[in-house]
């Protein structure tokens, strides 16, 4: 496997042009699909409100003022 940087960059530019030319509705469907994949990777069920696996953020430490 060889890495031709110019070929990689040209492919990225072509992909970006292709994505930019798509209709907005299709872009939104693609975004929804990506969100569902991300949730599946995390091990959560999409649109689930069980709250079974949630972490509370730590409070910020502030200097006494």
Q: What is the pLDDT of residues 13-50, one digit of tens each?
A: 999 999 999 999 999 999 999 999 998 888 865 555 55
pLDDT for position 1: 63
- Give the global pTM: 0.52
User: Tokens 């492919």 map to which residue?
Assistant: 11
Contact 19, 12 (CB under 8 A): no
- Here the tokens at position 37 are 């994949």
């Amino acid at each position: 496997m060889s890495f031709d940087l110019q070929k990689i960059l040209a492919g990225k530019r072509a992909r970006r042009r292709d994505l930019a030319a798509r209709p907005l509705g299709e872009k939104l469907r693609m975004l929804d699909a990506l969100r569902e994949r991300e949730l599946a990777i995390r091990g959560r069920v999409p649109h689930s409100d069980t709250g079974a696996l949630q972490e509370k953020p730590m409070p910020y430490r502030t200097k006494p003022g």
